[in-house]
């Protein structure tokens, strides 16, 4: 969706290393924003994006207009209802339907061999992986590590909405996830204890509200009663009017 | 869906003429059958199909299993709700969602340059054309003329369900459509008169019931108050427990 930061740039670098040709799509997709969400104010800076893309030696920028992507007669949707209702899906109805639809279109237009996605948007990555597998889309999906600020805050275009104080306090997201990892590594396998610990840490800040804090199976985002296997701890919280998400993977024996 | 007849064979011949390689998919798609429909008894004859495919010099038959196409974990759907609720969609809820989903998969697996479809399944053809356009699927869709018995009955795998008498009487579908064409060409532009005329002709037979008889815009299947432009006259009726569909295009100045 543009407004490129170091997270996007890490994907571009990986693609440049592994492929002959790298295509960057930039499209703020109206279909994945709810009516009360930040579609209008979502940061757009074409010139900055083009400059950064050039620095990363991107071969092609695909930057379609809204009208090209969704002409007035547009009628077709791709969706994965089962994976789109938990976590962020509960708070952003229609969001993942917008994501799977636009990514289907982008994949059909660009026909890449490899699709690079960031782990920060974990549910998005899992929903797209599942769509690609289910619909036999001929592309390999690679999920790449989240890039973070020095204080641990996951890079996101939405971080520009934060005040300096909020930005500082938002470090708690990653700190609490790291604390959760430690607890699990020390033998805590009860997700309720993990969630409770993270919540307590959140409440030491001026956080406005919590959408969710959950321990799920990394592969299919299903809930866990006992932590086992490849676990993802994922959360979404609000600082003022800014919604932030983060997640980590923990492998539990 | 296999059970190849002259209609399918006409598509294979056209593909052989126009392409280097012809792939025939044979898959009775459970997703497009309703719970009360004929999925179990739908005619399947692999040996006959293979023999006919060989006669038409088909290069590849793609004949996947149900489990390959829809493993237990299957979750993703492609749909076009707006085009899927009129005509057959009203009587077969979920049918076109099953069609667009399986055709998305088949197109991603086979990656053909051209997809050949029969006009007999008009709504299916229009829904697939729209899906291909909306999702930017890199394939050209060609809709080929309906092949008919000598008495005008459109070829269909479901014709094998008909008794000899029903088969004879079912000629009324095409006869009434031809009569409608004549009326329009003689200046009748009121769809109600056309529908009434077809209905009257249907009622001279042992027809069991009528799902619909409609005049619509050929391109997007929307209803028409006055016949103008590229019109499709489409109908679905029952002879005993067999549902038959047919349609014609009429160009109205």
Portions of chain A given CATH number 3.30.1300.10? 157-252
Dihedral angle sign, alpha carbons of residues B172, B178, B184, B187: negative
CB < 8 Å to A76, chain B: 78-80, 100, 130-131, 134-135
What pLDDT, on a 0 to 100 scale, did the predictor assign at position B253?
87
CB < 8 Å to B73, chain A: 220
This model of the complex carries an ipTM of 0.95
pLDDT beyond 90 at A166: yes
Mutate to test the interface with B, among A62, A77, A222 (most CBs of B within 10 A): A77
* Average pLDDT of span B126-147: 98
**The 3-state secondary structure of chain B, one letter per residue:** CCCCCHHHHHHHHHHHHHCCCCEEECCCCHHHCCCCCCCCCCCCCHHHHHHHHHHCCCCEEECCCHHHHCCCCCCCEEECHHHCCCHHHHHCCCHHHHHHHHHHHHHHHHCCCEEEEECCCHHHHHHHHHHHHHCCCCCEEEEECCCECCCCCECCHHHHHCCHHHHHHCCHHHHHHHHHHHHHHCCCCCHHHHHHHHHHHHCCCCCCEEEEEEEEECCCCCECCCCCEEEEEEEEEEECCEEEEEEEEEEEC
CB < 8 Å to B138, chain A: 108, 111
Question: Rounded to whole angstroms, how far apart are CA atoms B50 and A200?
Answer: 66
pLDDT beyond 90 at B108: yes
Q: How far is CA A160 from CA A24, A163, A242, in A?
A: 22, 8, 9
Here the tokens at position B77 are 């759907």
Please check whether residue B237 is in contact with residue B209, taking contact to mean a CB–CB distance below 8 angstroms: yes
CATH architecture of the domain with range B157-252: 2-Layer Sandwich (3.30)
- Chain A, chain B: beta-carbon pairs less than 8 Å apart: 68
pLDDT averaged over every residue in chain A: 97
What pLDDT, on a 0 to 100 scale, did the predictor assign at position B17?
98
* Average pLDDT of span A51-78: 98
Portions of chain A given CATH number 3.40.50.620? 6-144
pLDDT beyond 90 at B163: yes
Q: Do A131 and B76 touch (CB under 8 A)?
A: yes
What pLDDT, on a 0 to 100 scale, did the predictor assign at position A201?
98
Least Cα separation, residue A138 to chain B (angstroms):
7
What pLDDT, on a 0 to 100 scale, did the predictor assign at position B73?
94
Percentage, residues of chain B above pLDDT 70: 100
pLDDT in tens, B28-62: 999 999 999 999 999 999 999 999 999 999 999 99
CB < 8 Å to B131, chain A: 76
Tell which B residues from 128 to 157 touch A, by Cβ distance under 8 Å.
130-131, 134-138
In Å, the largest CA–CA distance within chain A is: 56
Rg (CA), chain A: 18
Q: Which one of the listed residues A8, A63, A189, A196 is annotated catalytic?
A: A8
pLDDT beyond 90 at B156: yes
Rg (CA), chain B: 18
Percentage, residues of chain B above pLDDT 90: 100
Please check whether residue A237 is in contact with residue A202, taking contact to mean a CB–CB distance below 8 angstroms: yes
Residue A97 sits at the chain B interface (C-beta within 8 Å): no
Task: Please say if A8 is a catalytic residue.
Answer: yes
Task: Indicate the length of chain B as a whole number.
Answer: 253
* Average pLDDT of span B193-208: 97
Q: How far is CA B164 from CA A105, A149, B120, B159, B210, in A?
A: 48, 77, 21, 10, 20
Residue B164 class from Cβ within 10 Å (0-12 exposed, 13-18 middle, 19+ buried)? Answer: exposed
Place of tokens 């592994």: A18
* Average pLDDT of span A62-90: 97
The confidence band for A237, taking pLDDT boundaries of 50, 70 and 90, is very high
CB < 8 Å to B80, chain A: 75-77
Tell which A residues from 190 to 249 touch B, by Cβ distance under 8 Å.
220
What pLDDT, on a 0 to 100 scale, did the predictor assign at position A140?
98
pLDDT beyond 90 at A121: yes
Residue A215: count of CB within 10 angstroms of its CB = 25
Question: Rounded to whole angstroms, how far apart are CA atoms A81 and A91?
Answer: 14
Residue A109 sits at the chain B interface (C-beta within 8 Å): yes
Please check whether residue B61 is in contact with residue B24, taking contact to mean a CB–CB distance below 8 angstroms: yes
Annotated catalytic residues of B are: 8
pLDDT beyond 90 at A243: yes
Nearest-CB residue to A76 (from B76, B108, B130): B130
How is the beta sheet containing A209-217 ordered, strand by strand?
A209-217, A229-239, A242-252
pLDDT beyond 90 at A253: no
Residue A86 phi, psi (nearest 5): -90, 180
Has domain A6-144 been given CATH number 3.40.50.10420?
no
What pLDDT, on a 0 to 100 scale, did the predictor assign at position A136?
98
Q: Do A138 and B108 touch (CB under 8 A)?
A: yes
**The 3-state secondary structure of chain A, one letter per residue:** CCCCCHHHHHHHHHHHHHCCCCEEECCCCHHHCCCCCCCCCCCCCHHHHHHHHHHCCCCEEECCCHHHHCCCCCCCEEECHHHCCCHHHHHCCCHHHHHHHHHHHHHHHHCCCEEEEECCCHHHHHHHHHHHHHCCCCCEEEEECCCECCCCCECCHHHHHCCHHHHHHCCHHHHHHHHHHHHHHCCCCCHHHHHHHHHHHHCCCCCCEEEEEEEEECCCCCECCCCCEEEEEEEEEEECCEEEEEEEEEEEC
Please list, in sequence order, all residues whose beta carbon lies within 8 angstroms of the beta carbon of residue B113, skipping any fewer than 6 positions away: B19, B139, B140
pLDDT in tens, B203-241: 999 999 999 999 999 999 999 999 999 999 999 999 999
Question: Rounded to whole angstroms, how far apart are CA atoms A68 and A71?
Answer: 6
pLDDT averaged over every residue in chain B: 97
Residue A123 sits at the chain B interface (C-beta within 8 Å): no
Residue A17 class from Cβ within 10 Å (0-12 exposed, 13-18 middle, 19+ buried)? Answer: exposed
Question: Rounded to whole angstroms, how far apart are CA atoms A168 and A152?
Answer: 10
Q: In chain B, whose CA is at the least distance from the CA of A137?
A: B108
Residue A212 class from Cβ within 10 Å (0-12 exposed, 13-18 middle, 19+ buried)? Answer: middle
What pLDDT, on a 0 to 100 scale, did the predictor assign at position B151?
97
């Amino acid at each position: 969706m543009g407004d490129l930061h170091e997270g996007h740039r890490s994907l571009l670098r990986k693609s440049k290393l592994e492929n002959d040709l790298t295509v960057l799509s930039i499209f703020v997709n109206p279909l994945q924003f709810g009516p009360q969400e930040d579609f209008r104010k979502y940061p757009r800076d074409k010139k900055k994006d083009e400059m950064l893309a050039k620095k990363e030696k991107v071969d092609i920028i695909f930057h379609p207009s809204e009208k090209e992507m969704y002409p007035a007669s547009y009628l077709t949707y791709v969706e994965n209802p089962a994976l789109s209702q938990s976590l962020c899906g509960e708070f952003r109805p229609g969001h993942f339907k917008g994501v799977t639809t636009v990514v289907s279109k982008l994949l059909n237009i660009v026909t890449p061999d490899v699709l690079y996605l960031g782990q920060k948007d974990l549910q998005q990555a899992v929903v797209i992986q599942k769509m690609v597998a289910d619909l036999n889309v001929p592309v390999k999906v690679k999920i790449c590590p989240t890039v973070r600020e020095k204080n641990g805050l996951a890079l996101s275009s939405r971080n520009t909405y934060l005040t300096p104080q909020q930005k500082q306090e938002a470090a708690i997201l990653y700190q609490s996830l790291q604390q959760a990892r430690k607890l699990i590594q020390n033998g805590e396998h009860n997700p309720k204890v993990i969630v409770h610990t993270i919540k307590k840490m959140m409440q030491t800040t001026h956080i406005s509200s919590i959408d969710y804090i959950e321990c799920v199976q990394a592969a299919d985002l299903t809930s866990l009663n006992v932590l086992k296997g490849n676990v993802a701890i994922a959360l979404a919280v609000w600082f003022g009017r800014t919604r932030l998400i983060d997640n980590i993977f923990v492998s539990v024996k």
